[in-house]
Amino acid sequence: MSEDEEYTERSQKMEGSEWILIHNPAPGAVSARWYKLVEKERGLESWDKREDVPAWLRQVSLVLNMHCEGWTGYVFNTFDRQLEILHWIAERIEGRHLLVYLAGWDGRYYWNYPIYKPSRACGDTEGLKRLVDGAHQLGIHVIPMFGLIASNYRNTQKLGFQQAACRTTYDLEEICDWTEWDEDLSTDLIWQPLNVGEDKFREHLFNKICWVTDTFSTDGVILDISGWLPQDPRHNILEGLKTLVEGLHARYKDFLIFGEMGSEFHMSLIPLFHSMANLPADHPFYRYCRTFYHLGIGAPGRGSTGVYEFGVCPYVRPRSDHPAIPTLGLVDDTLPQHSKEVEAVIKVAKDWARRWNS
């Protein structure tokens, strides 16, 4: 184990915290101490007491990973087609039990970040408005995806966000060299991480989220790569995230903010994540937060991950005996080619609700 200063406060000396060494601790004893500390220092509250959890979320038993326009410009589902899919699903399960995760709604996935305008290929502003209004008529909640840190290099320059580019402890610009988008077996260095702790970029992101929420009456925001913790000596990314989250909750009621991944430092700010479904059912995480299956899960059939960069991932039916909310990926061939499996997942969601939502 180790301890370090905040990267924005690096110095030649530091004062460490008190360490407690426990010999042969009872199972769960160390994590219990740790989470009590997080409760005290970060204001982390139990799931049943959290005020940032909308009442409607507590009724959700199926998340729909709705794939729109991919990085290459391939359209998996137009907005009008998505509404047709929602009508089909809502005939089999009440809309109040459904949450739509809208990925690639803003044009080429990741390529357009952080501009955030509805995809023309999917139906533009009018199409997105029809989708959200139609979903609400069915009792379904819709949440669009935003990148908490991501920006196309060209857009960084175009929008003047160079000062927000994450930097290392030694003042080198961070490079995103781990994502492969077009299946040519080499990474595509088209985006870079920006630091939401920098005022100009955070204000841009806040204003874009508000514009989408006000224009389309969406029900929250997905903050992608929410767990990024750069060693940036200039801007505190956790403080920036806190400012963004508090500003959104001050403006909107019953507004869900959820992230991709994070640590205990993020759990007091974000109640729902989509990368924790591999945690065991008795993990302390579930005392405070909830999760569903990641955007990158394979859809029924060939296992397409839609807009997500995996390309394919073997399809696995979600479980009703685990606290992770059942999740279904929806790509271009999911309905009607795999309608029987979709109905099977809906049954899992109903079983899950009886077990976990009571």
Tell me: pLDDT of 49 over 70.
Answer: yes
Domain-located, residue 8:
no
pLDDT confidence of 358, banded at 50, 70, 90?
Answer: low
Alpha helix ranges (H) inside 20-123: 29-42, 79-90
Give the residue-averaged pLDDT of 24-32.
Answer: 81
Q: Evaluate whether residue 7 is within a structural domain.
A: no
Residue by residue, DSSP assigns 94-120 as -GGGEEEEEESTTSSTTTTTT-----T
We report the CATH number of the domain holding residue 58 as 3.20.20.80
Whether the CB-CB separation of 260 and 227 falls below 8 Å is answered with yes
Judge whether 173 lies within some domain.
Answer: no
Q: Global pTM?
A: 0.94
pLDDT digits (tens, 9 = 90+) for 266-301: 999 999 999 999 999 999 999 999 999 999 999 999
Residue 6: inside a domain, yes or no?
A: no
User: Does 120 fall in a domain?
Assistant: yes
Nearest to 300 by CA among 271, 329, 332: 329
Residue 12: predicted pLDDT:
77
Q: Is residue 32 part of a domain?
A: no
Lowest mean pLDDT segment, chosen from 14-18, 109-113, 167-171, 335-339: 14-18
The predicted structure's pLDDT at residue 189: 83
Q: Is the dihedral of CA 34, 246, 252, 112 positive or negative?
A: negative
Distance of CA 145 to the CA centre of its chain: 7
Helices (H), the chain: 29-42, 79-90, 124-137, 153-159, 199-216, 237-251, 285-288, 339-356
Tell me, yes or no, whether 20 lies in a domain.
no
Work out the average pLDDT over 143-155: 96
- Total domains present in the chain: 1
pLDDT band at 177 (very low <50, low <70, confident <90, very high): confident
By residue range, what is the domain housing residue 322? 54-146+196-356
Assigned domain for 17 exists: no
